[in-house]
Amino acid sequence: MSNAGKIGSLGRMVSCFALGIFAAIVLLGDFIAPYDHALQSRSEPAAPPTRIHIVDESGEVRWPFIYRRSLVDPLARTFEDDRSESYDLTLFAIGDPYYLLGVVPARIHLFGVDQKGTGTPRVYLLGTDELGRDRFSRIIIATKFSLIVCPLGAILAGLIGVVIGLLSGYTNRTVDTILMGIADTMLSLPALMIILTARAAFPLELPPVRAAGLLVMIFALTGWAEFARLMRGLARSLKEREFVLAARSLGLTEIRIMVRHILPNALPTMLTQVLVMLPYFLLAEVALSFLGVGLQEPYPSLGNLLASAADINRLQREPLLVLAPGFVIATFVLTIRGLGAKSERVA
């Protein structure tokens, strides 16, 4: 038992750490990404990851550095290092301009090679895509987008679910039957199919902000049923409790009892549920973008990055690099599961 507890708490620590990294990516994504996600390097299309050296020509170990590469054979996509000049990797490197948190103009990135003039080579941790854009930066920005859209959708869905669940658990039986009938119907149908049906009602190609807004709205309108079911159960059990009886005997209105007494007691469970549901919303967003009806090129999302992996040639040539967004998704899902398992045990 104590052994199981130890491993559980270790898993939880790892999950918390990973969640912290995801939060950092959401807040400081542009700072962590070494380059602008849309910037194309014409001389290095579909390039493999940059080799990072720590041993120089004379055989001495030194601070990590890279060489400038040039495309030798455009057909076979072979690159050659130019060993005449080396460039040091630095922390807090000066690079492409961006807006920190969307407002503060900045040029400092977490790591990279200080940009001096136009000829400075770039460090590509995961190589570049066919347009010469840095894959690593694109994954970071894509993660940021996905992790803004999904929690927003989950929270909105949770709000709708709380209202419907309260109504259902608190008013008369007819309302309850109708609302829960609707919720059960929503739950029994394939979620992705409902989402796609809702998506079909809107124009296919949308600018990124509107696409994000639309995704949030669709997630909220299709994802509330699970929350409503839970909230209804909570409301029904809470309204029989002594403190609610006491409140009622003091002559408080039903609305006040609902808002001041039932809701605060249901809140922790509902917040946990929002967290537990996050992976489902993320997977839905990924599926939509993968199918080309979510966020679209040139803006990166985890789904449309994976769509480029559906190209068989690219998939065969560098499977790990094109599937990298998939690892991000899997890590996020595992992280939430790790936290969720623990919170379930506490409850």
Partner 1 sequence: MITIVARKLLQGTLTLLFVSIISFAMLSAAGGDALTALSDNPQVSSETVERLRTVYGLDRPLSKRYFAWISAAVRGDLGESFTYRTPVRDLVLSRLSNTLIVALPALILAFGFAFSGAYLLESSRSKLLDRMAEIWIALSSSTPRIVAALVVLLVIVGSADATTRQEPGSYLVVVGCMIVIALPLQALLLAQAKSELARASGAEFVKFARAKGLSERVVIVKHASREALNPLITLCGLSLGSVVSGSIVVETVLGWPGIGALMVTAVRGRDVSLVMGIVIITSLLIWIANSMAELLQMVNDPRLIETEAAGNE
For partner 1, the binding residues (CB under 8 A) are 181-182, 185, 187-193, 196-204, 279, 283, 286-287, 290-293, 303, 306, 309-310, 312, 315-316, 319, 323, 326, 329-330, 333-334, 337
Cα–Cα distance between 254 and 182 in angstroms, integer?
25
- Residues facing 82 on adjacent strands: 68
Please, what is the minimum distance in Å from the beta carbon of residue 287 to partner 1? 5
Residue 214: how many CA atoms within 13 Å on its side-chain side? 22
- Which CB, 1 or 250, lies closer to partner 1? 1
Cβ 83 to partner 1 shortest distance, Å: 35
* Dihedral angle computed from the Cα positions of residues 222, 224, 230 and 232, in that order, rounded to the nearest 10 degrees: -120
| CB of 268 or CB of 319, closer to partner 1 | 319
Query: Closer to partner 1 at the Cβ: 113 or 339?
Result: 339
* CA–CA distance, 183 with 177 (Å, rounded to integer): 10
**Residue whose CB is less far from partner 1, 59 or 203:** 203
- Residue among 312 and 347 whose Cβ is closer to partner 1: 312
Shortest reach from residue 102's CB to partner 1, in Å: 29
C-beta atoms surrounding 52 within 10 Å: 12
User: Least CB distance from residue 231 to partner 1, whole Å?
Assistant: 18
Question: Cα(49)–Cα(6) distance, rounded to whole angstroms?
Answer: 39
Considering only CA atoms, which of 303, 304, 300, 298 is closest in space to residue 282? 303
Alpha-carbon gap, residue 261 to 257, rounded angstroms: 5
Beta pairing partners, 69? 81
Whichever of 132 and 292 has its CB closer to partner 1, that residue is 292
Q: How far apart are CA 235 and CA 232, in angstroms?
A: 5
> Shortest Cβ distance from residue 271 to partner 1 (Å)?
22
- Closest separation between CB of residue 241 and partner 1, Å? 20
